[in-house]
Amino acid sequence: MISWIKGELVDLWQINNKFFVLINCQGLGYEIQILESIFIKLKTKQISDKNLVLWLKHIKKEDSDFLFGFTIKDQKDFFIEILNVKGIGSQIGMALLNKFSIDEILIAIDTKNTKLISSVQGIGQKMTERIILELKSKLSTKVKDKIEIKNNEALKSENVINSTLNDIKITLQSLNYPKKDIKNILPLLIKESDSKSRSPEMKNTSFESLLKLAMNYLDNKNSNLDQ
């Protein structure tokens, strides 16, 4: 049983809606079907093609062997689980993971979102209901864990922002800005920090950038009043 591989990319190709890689591992070439997201990242060099690591599901049939590769172990684990559902083949499992993230799928199953699951080609209403029925109890713990992690991250981020805003408030007061103006500027800073936290390249808004924004706003306001 082959369950994990690390090697150098030799080739990659697409056949209709299927995506493949050929990996050299210690002189042997392994042909593996992968997700479209991995294929795109390899083509655009977002993933190293020298030390490519994949979690594998090995499906052995009478006349052939098939390998399916994933960069995230949760994807492999879900793929294995969904193959145990009656009527679900490997290509339907891959199509589902190609269209939605693992988090979206787990939450859809937990919330019985039949519309999302049945939107995948090859999955009808009856199959959707079977997937939810058979996997909901198995995957509910994972969903709860993911939701709890996200909530903890959100709470941590909120605490950091609140602490930063309090520090800015104290700093502005020490610089003799009017308390009323400082109070009025805080909602603007909260909005700014929230918008930047949604940006992948700016996960945290620094004290310095928010302080500069507040001082510029207050200085411009006072300048306009003086004119």
Q: Is 176 a domain residue?
A: yes
Residues whose CB falls within 8 Å of the CB of residue 125, separated by 6 or more in sequence, listed in order:
114, 118
pLDDT digits (tens, 9 = 90+) for 84-109: 998 899 999 999 999 998 888 888 88
Show which of 45, 71, 97 is a domain's final residue: 71
Q: Is 76 a domain residue?
A: no
Q: Span 139-159, mean pLDDT? A: 58
Give the CATH number for residue 11: 2.40.50.140
Question: Which residues constitute the domain of residue 25?
Answer: 1-71
Count of Cβ atoms closer than 10 Å to residue 61 Cβ: 7
Closest by Cα among 210, 206, 217, 216 to 184: 217
Exposed, middle or buried, 103 (CB in 10 Å: 0-12/13-18/19+)?
middle
Q: Is 173 a domain residue?
A: yes
Domain count across the chain: 2
SS3 61: coil
pLDDT digits (tens, 9 = 90+) for 9-30: 999 999 999 999 999 999 999 9
Q: Is 122 a domain residue?
A: no
Show which of 38, 71, 104 is a domain's final residue: 71
Q: Is 191 a domain residue?
A: yes
Does this model's pTM top 0.75? no
Which residue has better confidence, 11 or 149? 11
Q: Is 137 a domain residue?
A: no
Q: Is 21 a domain residue?
A: yes
Tokens coding 100:
């939605």
